[in-house]
Amino acid sequence: MSLRSQIIIPLIVAVLGGVFMSFFIAHQATEAQERAEHFATDAFAGSRLAEEAASHLAAMRGFADQVLAMTTFVPHRTIEARFGELDAAMETVLRALDENELVRRVDAERVAFVEAYTAWRASLGIAVGLAPSLEVPSPELLRRQRAETETSLEAYSNALDAAAATGIATTNQETVAAIRDANILTAVVAGVLLCLGLGLTHLLTGRLKQVTEAMRRLADGDTDISLPKTGRTREIRSMVGALDVFRTNAIERDRLIAETNAANDSERRRYAMEMKALVAGMTASIEAALAGDLSKRIGGDFEARDLKTLAGLADNLLATIDDNLSDVLRVMDGLDRGMLFERVGGDAGGAFGRLREATNGSLDRLSDLIVSIQESSQAVAVVADQLKGGSRQMLARAKSQSRSVDATVTALGQVTETLASAAMEARETRSMVADARRATERSGEIVDDAIAAMTRMEEASGRIGNIVDVIDQIAFQTNLLALNAGVEAARVGDAGKGFAVVAKEVRELAKRSSTAASDVKDLIEDTLGDIKRGAAIVNETGDALARLRTDVMTIDQRIDAVSEIVRAQSDAVNGVNDDVSGIDRLTQENSAIVRETDGSIATMGDCAERLSSFVTHFQLVRATPMSRRAA
C-alpha cells in the first residue's frame, strides 16, 4: 500500500463515517416525523368521526321523539326513508372508525358502543312500526337504551382522545431516545477513527525515522547497517530499496577504491563528495517529506551518471507523490469548506487511479446524500407547519369554548330574569284567583239550580266517554292488525292464510265500531231534552257566569304564561348543564392535546433546523463569476 493511500484512506473513512451518521440521523428524524404525522392524522380523524356519530345519533333521537310523540301524522314511507338514511349515515361513520388505527387500542369501548347502538336501533324500529314484533318496547326501555348508547359513545370518544395523546407522547419519547442513541454512536465512531488515525501516523513516522537514521549513518560512511523493515507501504519500500542501492554503491565504491589505489585521487574525492551530496540531498528531501513538505528536491549537478540517474528518479518519485497528494488535498480542502463539486483530476493509473476513482465516487455519493437530506429537511419543515396549523385549530376550538361559556353566562342571566317574571305572574295570578273565588261564591245559588240538570248530562257524558274509549281501543287494535296484515301480505308462500285471519278480525272490529256509533247517536238524542230544560237555568246564571268567565279567562292566560315561563326555564337550565359539561370535557381534552402537539412541533422544528444548518454548509455546484460578484 502506498503512503498516499495510507493517508487518504483514513480521511475517506472519516468522511464516509460522517456521511453515514448524517444519513442515520436524517433517517431517524424522518421516521419520527412519519409517526407523529400518523398519530396526529388519526387523532384529528377520530375526533371528527366521533362528532359526526354524535350528530347522527342526536338526529335519530329527535326524529324518533317526533314520531313517538304522535303530535303530527308522519307517513310510514317517510319514517322508513328517514330512519334508513340516518342508520346508513351511522354505519358509514362506524366503518370509518374501524379503519382508524387508533380504534385497535380501544376495541372494548368500540364493541360496547356498537352493541348499545344496535340494541337501541332494534327497539326503535319495533316502536315506530319498521319491524314486526309481538312485544312493543316501553318508553322507559327506549330511554334507558338511548342513554346507554350516548354514554358508550362518549366513553368511545374519550378513549380515542386518550389513545391519541398516549401515542403522541410515546412517539416523542422514542424520537428523543433515537436521537440520543445516534449522538452516542457518532461520538463512538469519531473516537475510533481518531485512534486509528493516531496509530497510523505513529506507525508511518516510526518507519520514516528508521529510514532517515540509516541514511545518516550511510552518509557518515558506515556501510555496516541493517535495513529497516519495509512493511506494506510502497513509498517506504522504494526508500529502503534506494537506501540498499546507496549501501551497495558505497560498498562497491570502497571496493573500487581498494582495487584502484593507483587511480586519480581527485576523481575519488569528487565521486565521494557527489555521493555525500546526494545522500545529504535525499536525507533533506525525506526529512522535509516527513514534516509534510513534498516540494523539496535533491537538485545538484552530478557528473557521475549513476548518481545523476538516482537523483532524478528520487526527484520524480517525490514530484509524483506531491502532485497526486496535492490534488487529493485540494479536493479534501474543498470538502472541508463545503464545496462538493471539486474532483480529483489527472490520468494517472495504478494506485493513484484507484484512489482518484474512489475519492470521486465517494464525493458523488456524498452529493446525492446531501440532496436527499435537503429534501428530508424540507419535508420535516412542511410537516412542522402542518402541525402548527393543527395547533392553531385547537386554539380556535378553545376560543369557541370560551364563547360557549359567555353564552352560558348570558343564558343564566335570562333564567334569572325569567324566574323574577314568573314570581310576579304568580302573585298576580293568586290575586285573580281570589277574585274569581268570590265571584263563584256569589253565583253559587244559581249554579246549584243548574247542578241537577247537569247531573244527567254528566251521566250521559260518562256513557259517551266509555263508548269513545271502546272506539279508541278498537281503532288502535285495527291499526295494529292493519300493520300486521301489510307485513303478511308482503311475504310469499303461506302468507295468504295469515292475511285471511287478519281480514276476519278487521270485519268484526268494524261491526263493533258501528254498534258503538249507534249507541252514541241514541245518547245524543236523549241528552237534547235535558239540554233544553237546563237552558233556562243557564240563562239565569249568564250574568254571573259572564263575570266568572272573564276572571277565569284571565286566570287561564296567567297560568299559561307561568307554564310557558317554567318550561322555558327548564329548557334553559338543561341547556346550561349540557353546555357546562361539554365545555369542561372539551377544555381538558384540548389542553392535553395542545400540550402534546406543542412538544412534538418543538422537537420536529429542532430536527429540521439542525438538518438545514448541516446541509447549507455544502455547495453542490461551482459558483459562476457573475454569482460570485453578486455574492
In a domain, 403, yes or no: no
Q: Please report, as a single letter, which amino acid is at residue 284.
A: A
C-alpha distances out from residue 395 to 43, 54, 389, 593, Å: 16, 22, 10, 11
In a domain, 199, yes or no: no
Confidence of residue 626 (pLDDT cuts 50, 70, 90): very low
| Rg of the chain in Å (alpha carbons) | 53
Rounding to the nearest 10 degrees, give the CA dihedral for residues 40, 46, 47, 48.
Answer: 110
pLDDT digits (tens, 9 = 90+) for 142-194: 888 888 888 887 887 787 777 777 776 776 676 666 666 666 666 666 566 56
In a domain, 514, yes or no: yes
Burial grade of 356 (CB within 10 A; 0-12, 13-18, 19 or more): buried
pLDDT digits (tens, 9 = 90+) for 552-591: 566 666 666 666 665 666 566 566 656 656 666 666 666 6
- Choice between 119 and 318, residue whose per-residue pLDDT is larger: 119
In a domain, 477, yes or no: yes
In a domain, 399, yes or no: no
Cell triple for 578: 349540557
In this prediction, residues 541-560 reach a mean pLDDT of 63
Q: Into how many domains does the chain fold?
A: 1
Q: Which of 390, 387, 397, 377 is nearest to 600 (CA)?
A: 387
Confidence of residue 595 (pLDDT cuts 50, 70, 90): low
Owning domain of residue 462: 444-540
